[in-house]
Structure 1
Amino acid sequence: MRSFEELVAEAEAADTTGWRFEWLAGRATEERPPWGYSRLLAARLGEVTSALDIDTGGGEVLAEVPTFPPTMVATESWPPNAERARALLGPRGVRVVETDDGAPLPFPDGTFELVTARHPVRPDWREIRRVLVPGGHYVAQHVGPGSAFELIERFVGPLPGGVRSRDPRLEVAEAEAAGLEVVALERAVCRMAFHDVGAVVWILRKCVWWVPDFSVSRDERTLRGLDAQMRAGRPLVAHSTRHLVVARRPSRRAAPGGLMNEEDPPIPALA
């Protein structure tokens, strides 16, 4: 294995824009959730005529889809990623809209049959419901509570239980309070393993919210400890948590006596 200094210098110089992780090949591994989000995304997009992908990053996940619906839009709030997504998706007819964190989605009510997201920052359930057509669906893979905490806590120390946000039960409650019907929820815990210190430096540069104000100089002692552990043949093992959420904006019609009945049947259970 190369020296600590060489591994760190390489990781500090490497590009971290976009949402691809090929740089970690041979350095780190992560299991994938069993539902196969990319395949699910492709299948869903093939069933609609209009769709919105939220927090698309550099557009890399969306770009794996072979065929887009006639109206395909993606949003991204970080300018370097938005520029990358335009270059990647624009030639395929996808409109990439740069948005502001926390701002309403810049689309009229009932614009899209499908809204998707892979690891959205903070799902705005009321906005998601608003831009969906009645009967439209939200299909997304979310980051779960305590994800990668075995790595994060090596740098910041034990985190209190209250920090472990992104609880899928709370998200379901929030979605339902916003007027959505959650029709499927699946959860997974996936093993991660980091085999050299450069992989740790790179992932902390990319996922800047994991360890705020991370720097090699400030965190050198922790990094050297991890480097010694890995050189002894013991990778840093952590676990990512993920959950798949499928929700629907109810489509209702007036029934005799003024009651409201569901117009659309439930979607089939996920395989």
Structure 2
Amino acid sequence: MPTNRPAPPAPEPLSPLVDAHTHVDACGATDPESVRALVDRAAAVGVGRIVTVADDLVAARFAVEAAHWDERVYAAVALHPTRANALDDAARTELEKLAADPRVVAVGETGLDYYWPGKLDGCATVEEQVEGFRWHIDLAKRLRKPLMIHNREADHDLLAVLLDEGAPDTVIFHCFSSDANMALACVAEGYVLSFSGTVSFKNAIELREAAKLVPAGQILVETDAPYLTPHPYRGAPNESYCLPYTVRALAEIRGEDPAELAATVTANAERIYGI
């Protein structure tokens, strides 16, 4: 969680970049002026486009609005797996309408989260999460849009549901946080792995090893702001302008030139999201 630590300084620009997953409303940008200011800060360091992601219906409505306020903003909509118990008929109807909006480039974030059940009041059960996940998979396939995955401590079951349902053409594992074995399993299925600031954490040894194994055409970068601020600013507020810190850390891990990696992940984002 972000703390009272000051926001990180702006990094050296690295262009072009797309923030493949962020939450601008949670960053405090809640109207056209503040959204524009947030994207301006990002664009000043090379992050010219962002995808703002919903985890409940209120956030989904906002994400679509924000994507219409600023042409540099795109949206992804879904109910977070921990909120899958709110996926009643009315919610499904509204999400279908929102997801069909041309400014929505993915259905997400959806998936499975086995960390919070039993710890968080009102959290969806595993059974409710699986049902919700199956519905979101079907929605992505019907709309022919990428499926954006949230996975926490559910590697085996998540892959099993995707196999059982039949995955959409494009599946993105947002904030990939598993090990090398999971990375190889995803790569084999053609899934896309998106890396956040966690890949820069010195204690994320298994994740850093996994990051080395992803082919150039199956990798994205994201902030997941306002959380997961990259090293050395871990615990400070995160925002899309911080993305170059993560890209440089990822480039070092992979033994690549940061500018070349930036070009690669941007081309991937453009192809995957159709932007």
Is the TM value for this pair above 0.5? no
Query: Could you state the TM-score of these two structures normalised by the residue count of structure 1?
Result: 0.33
Q: Which has the higher helix share?
A: 2
Compute the TM-score of the two structures, normalised by the length of structure 2: 0.33
